[in-house]
């Protein structure tokens, strides 16, 4: 690990001021925020991230780690621990996809340490990105090429990729957030703003080293999800190579508003398939207004994976993604859902 300066942020304004020196893409950022450290320290040890200054934002925990659940929705502080949110009674009851996406991620030790804000900003697990002895990685070194395209790409993405990068977004929670139309609150040198979570991660567009739309110095302070019947009838299904402590090779977050057999609204996120947390609008359009059957679920899944592009080892992924989505939809249809007067 290279030498760096460590500073503790006394408040949000100080964190943003220190963070203002961050470069545009996070990969080459000279300043990094330290939350749980489970991504950051890992990548510093691997010499992938090389910040000159690490700004510890854990002193901000008490105001920015709260969980508020009410009739209008859920607000999760960005410094809340993954495990705390996963086990919160209101999240378990009314936003099961969120609880499951956190519960199925990483290990118990990691979930006890890692925060929500750090989770959505975790980096790809592409082995060529994580090992600087590989020269060709456009995400780590812009313009150097992509070793994965002709290399070992079994776990790489099939949606939202281009020739500059085929890496997969590895997180689970972000897939649930994108399906549930979450918003995020940001605080930075220019003040506070709220954006759709779906617009946090940039499309690749030949610039994989610029991963998010965060402005220099901006801190994620909270996540918001609106309450609704579809949020209660939501689930997160994760498929992985082993039953625990493993990243998704396919996953689906599904939220349905049903009127008997008819789908009034469908919200679908896909994980393990795409460059960034992926919203499957095409699949939603296929389902809306129709009875949910095995056949309509298969048609929706075909639409979701219609644009898949494979590169050899990951040729199995579109079929796995389709089957995962069909299974998630059929499980969501029959899951028990408590009715509430307040929604
Ligand atoms: P940190 O490491 O502290 O920060 C990560 C990044 O986010 C840094 O760039 C930091 O500057 C930035 N940052 C942190 N907080 C903020 C904020 N509030 N505002 C702005 N920037 C911020 N994840 C899954 O989803 N599913 C898995 O199956 C899974 N398995 C894992 C297995 C292993 C072995 C490991 C090591 C990790 C795994 N993870 C998995 C990833 C893990 O969930 C993330 O490392 C963790 O959530 C990151 O949170 P953190 O608080 O530790 O972030
Ligand atoms: Fe780098 Fe992306 Fe290619 Fe992996 S897939 S080597 S992260 S450019």
Q: How far apart (Å, rounded) are the C-alpha atoms in residues 54 and 40? A: 10
pLDDT of residue 28: 61
pLDDT in tens, 167-189: 999 999 999 999 999 999 999 98
Report percent pLDDT > 90 for the chain: 91
* Residue 261 CA from chain centroid, whole number: 30
* Residue 174 in tokens: 């972000």
**The domain 229-333: what is its CATH number?**
3.30.390.50
Q: Where do the structural domains in the chain lie, given as residue ranges? A: 5-56, 229-333
> Of the candidates 125, 139, 130, 122, which has an alpha carbon nearest to the alpha carbon of residue 37?
122
Fold agreement (5-56, 229-333)? no
Average pLDDT, the chain: 95
pLDDT in tens, 234-264: 999 999 999 999 999 999 999 999 999 999 9
Tell which atom from ligand 1 comes closest to the C-alpha of 49: 9
Q: How far apart (Å, rounded) are the C-alpha atoms in residues 256 and 289? A: 12
Q: How far is the CA of 248 from the centre of ligand 2 (A)?
A: 18
Report the nearest-CA residue for atom 2 of ligand 2.
165
Residue 23 has pLDDT above 80, yes or no: no
C-beta of 314 in contact with ligand 2 (< 6 A): no
pTM of full prediction above 0.95: yes
Judged by its nearest atom, the ligand closest to the C-alpha of residue 44 is 1
Residue 161 has pLDDT above 60, yes or no: yes
- The DSSP line for 81-102 is BHHHHHH-HHHHHH-HHHHHHH
pLDDT of residue 29: 81
Q: How far is the CA of 223 from the centre of ligand 1 (A)?
A: 15
pLDDT of residue 342: 47
Domain 5-56 has CATH 2.170.120.12: no
Report the nearest-CA residue for atom 3 of ligand 2.
146
Tell which atom from ligand 2 comes closest to the C-alpha of 128: 6
Residue 113 has pLDDT above 50, yes or no: yes
Q: How far apart (Å, rounded) are the C-alpha atoms in residues 104 and 184? A: 22
Report the nearest-CA residue for atom 7 of ligand 2.
129
Question: Which residues form the pocket of ligand 1, taking CB atoms under 6 Å from any ligand atom?
Answer: 26, 32-40, 42, 78, 105-106, 110, 114-115, 117-119, 121-122, 171-173, 219-220, 247
pLDDT in tens, 206-237: 999 999 999 999 999 999 999 999 999 999 99
pLDDT of residue 21: 73
Residue 294 has pLDDT above 80, yes or no: yes
pLDDT of residue 18: 85
Over residues 119-145, mean pLDDT: 97
For residue 45, with 0-12 CB atoms within 10 Å meaning exposed, 13-18 middle and 19 or more buried, which class applies?
exposed
Q: How far is the CA of 58 from the centre of ligand 2 (A)?
A: 31
pLDDT in tens, 79-106: 999 999 999 999 999 999 999 999 999 9
């Amino acid at each position: 690990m290279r030498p760096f300066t460590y500073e503790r942020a006394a408040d949000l304004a100080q964190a943003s001021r220190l963070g203002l020196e961050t470069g545009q893409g996070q990969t080459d950022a000279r300043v990094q925020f330290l939350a749980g450290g489970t991504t950051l320290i890992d990548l510093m040890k691997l010499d992938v991230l090389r910040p000159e200054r690490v700004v510890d934002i854990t002193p901000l925990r008490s105001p920015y780690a709260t969980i508020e659940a009410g009739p209008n929705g859920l607000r999760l502080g960005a410094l809340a621990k993954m495990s705390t949110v996963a086990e919160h009674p209101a999240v378990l009851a009314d936003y099961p996809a969120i609880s499951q996406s956190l519960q199925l991620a990483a290990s118990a030790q990691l979930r006890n340490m890692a925060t929500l804000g750090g989770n959505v900003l975790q980096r790809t697990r592409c082995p060529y990105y994580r090992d600087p002895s590989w020269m060709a990685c456009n995400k780590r070194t812009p313009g150097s090429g992509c070793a994965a395209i002709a290399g070992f790409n079994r776990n790489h993405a099939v949606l939202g990729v281009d020739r500059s990068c085929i890496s997969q977004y590895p997180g689970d929670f972000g897939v649930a957030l994108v399906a549930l139309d979450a918003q995020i609150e940001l605080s930075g040198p220019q003040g506070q703003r709220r954006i759709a979570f779906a617009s946090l991660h940039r499309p690749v567009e030949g610039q994989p080293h610029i991963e998010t739309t965060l402005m220099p110095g901006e801190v994620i302070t909270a996540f918001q999800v609106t309450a609704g019947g579809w949020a209660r009838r939501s689930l997160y299904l994760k498929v992985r190579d082993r039953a625990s402590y493993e990243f998704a090779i396919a996953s689906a977050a599904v939220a349905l508003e049903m009127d008997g057999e008819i789908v009034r609204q469908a919200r679908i996120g896909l994980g393990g398939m795409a460059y960034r947390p992926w919203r499957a609008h095409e699949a939603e359009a296929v389902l809306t207004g129709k009875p949910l059957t095995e056949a309509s679920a298969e048609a929706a899944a075909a639409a979701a994976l219609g644009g898949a592009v494979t590169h050899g080892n990951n040729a199995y992924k579109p079929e796995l993604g389709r089957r995962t989505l069909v299974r998630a939809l059929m499980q969501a249809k029959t899951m028990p859902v408590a009715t509430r007067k307040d929604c």
